[in-house]
Amino acid sequence: MRILYVVSRAIQINSSSSIRNLASIRGLAELGHKVTVLSAMYDKNHSNYDEKLEPEGVEKIYLTVGGIQKAAAVSRRYRGLEGLRKTASRFLSVFQVYDSLKGITRCIEETEIQDDSYDLVISSSDPKSSHLFVYELYQRKRLKKTPWVQIWGDPFAADITNTSLIYRWKAKREEEKLLGKASKIVYVSKLTLEQQKKEYSAYREKMLFSPPAYLEERRTVPENVKHPMKVVYCGNYSSSARNILPFYHAMQKSGYSVMICGNGDAEILDTANLKHRSRVTFGEAEQVEEEADVLVYLCNKKGSQIPGKIYQYMGTCKYILFILDGDRERIREIFEPYQRFVFCGNQEEEILDSLREIESGKFEKTRFVVKEFSPESRAAWLLRQVTKE
């Protein structure tokens, strides 16, 4: 099958959505399909550029996006303009529902995409402009009958990262427009799927749930827990999305060796047993996680979005401390059947008690790779859903 995979932000820009998309692309290619990845041209000056995320074994179409995105690239070359770029980005986010890569749609005429070019088109957020690009292909009659699958990491109007009422009103209108054109709509969170079926009931029959794949197996043979036990949290912790403070305060009290890697607005200070680093590259995060006894996953405070890190951890044999927050019972109900996690609430004592139980060996049987989340398994499942009628 010839598959066009559209994601407007270059895969090489390190983010959870890039890793999720790379796993999907890898799975499709490993099944023997001819995959073409279309994205904006990557910027090596971007602070999150990571050459390790280069898609391999696939064709690539890179488009040069002008406008705001071009200005952003210039500001990254000249660091003195970085503050101005961030201020402009925050201002525009109140009024613009799409990201700065929306301008990728102006590059359509540079491509040769037609109905007979591909057997299937997949667009994947985030960013949302990925879906807009394919929508415009249909509007301009470049595509008419080629099936289109939309993969949504986060919903549009219900995205918890933007609380502006103006944004939500505009986003809902855009979201409905995009959903109406899709052949299949895939959400990577079961809670988001349930929410979206209620919100957009006219399209519920097209909506599916498919959790992300892990990018690769990291099957380190489980060893006995080291002393002091090594505990690692890799991820951002903006207070609007996640509350890292109970975990942080608990670790200050513990005797464990703790590493926190990520950016956020909470004040995280180094102590004798706790070290903090800002956001690291994909390879660096892998190395930090490889040395850990326990990988920590922290839920969002609210909403139906599930941070993608948990699926990457499915490919390891490490202990996973799953700190519940938000809709705790529903989230636990979804993930408990995998028998892969050690659950606790987002309170200091619960976190410490769970880590002590891990240290005692109580959860030894939770350390295994969940094959259901391999790239090939997830890609094969998705294609079965698309082709069956």
Q: For the chain, first and last CA: distance in Å?
A: 17
For residue 100, give the amino acid letter: S
Q: Considering the chain, what percentage of its residues have pLDDT values greater than 70? A: 90
Residue carrying structure tokens 């403070």: 245
Section 265-274 average pLDDT: 95
| pLDDT for position 224 | 77
Using CA atoms, how far residue 142 sits from 9, 104, 135, 139, 218, in Å, is 22, 15, 10, 8, 42
pLDDT digits (tens, 9 = 90+) for 234-251: 999 999 999 999 999 999
Cβ–Cβ contacts within 10 Å for residue 342, how many? 17
User: Residue 97 and residue 159: Cα distance in Å, rounded?
Assistant: 11
Strand partners, 298: 323
Contact 42, 64 (CB under 8 A): no
Rg of the chain's alpha carbons, rounded to an integer?
A: 21
Residue carrying structure tokens 């948990």: 310
Section 88-111 average pLDDT: 78
Selected residue with higher pLDDT from 355 and 385: 355
Omega prior to 307 cis, within 30 of 0: no
For residue 19, give the amino acid letter: I
pLDDT confidence band for 130 (50 / 70 / 90): very high
Residue 68 has pLDDT above 50, yes or no: no
pLDDT digits (tens, 9 = 90+) for 39-51: 999 999 998 899 9
Closest Cα partner for 315 from 211, 386, 242, 225? Answer: 211
Structure tokens at 151: 């993969």
| pLDDT for position 76 | 42
Which DSSP category does 151 fall into? E
Selected residue with higher pLDDT from 91 and 346: 346
Provide the CB-side half-sphere exposure for 207 (13 A, CA): 24
Give Cα 142 distance to the centre of its chain: 29
Q: Which of 98-102, 200-204, 345-349 has the lowest mean pLDDT?
A: 98-102
pLDDT digits (tens, 9 = 90+) for 19-63: 999 999 999 999 999 999 999 999 999 988 999 999 999 999 999
Provide the CB-side half-sphere exposure for 80 (13 A, CA): 0
Mean pLDDT of the chain: 90
Residue 17 has pLDDT above 80, yes or no: yes
For residue 364, give the amino acid letter: E
Closest Cα partner for 325 from 305, 345, 306? Answer: 345
pLDDT digits (tens, 9 = 90+) for 197-232: 999 999 999 999 999 999 999 876 666 788 899 999
Closest Cα partner for 206 from 231, 174, 176, 182? Answer: 182
User: Residue 307 and residue 16: Cα distance in Å, rounded?
Assistant: 8
Selected residue with higher pLDDT from 327 and 354: 354
| Residue 81 burial (10 A CB sphere; 0-12, 13-18, 19+) | middle
Using CA atoms, how far residue 300 sits from 238, 324, 325, 331, in Å, is 10, 8, 6, 11
Residue 131 has pLDDT above 70, yes or no: yes
Residue 73 has pLDDT above 70, yes or no: no
Alpha-carbon dihedral angle through residues 354, 360, 363, 368, given to the nearest 10 degrees: 120
Contact 324, 310 (CB under 8 A): no
DSSP labels, 235-277: S---TTT---HHHHHHHHHS-SEEEEE---SS-----SSEEEE
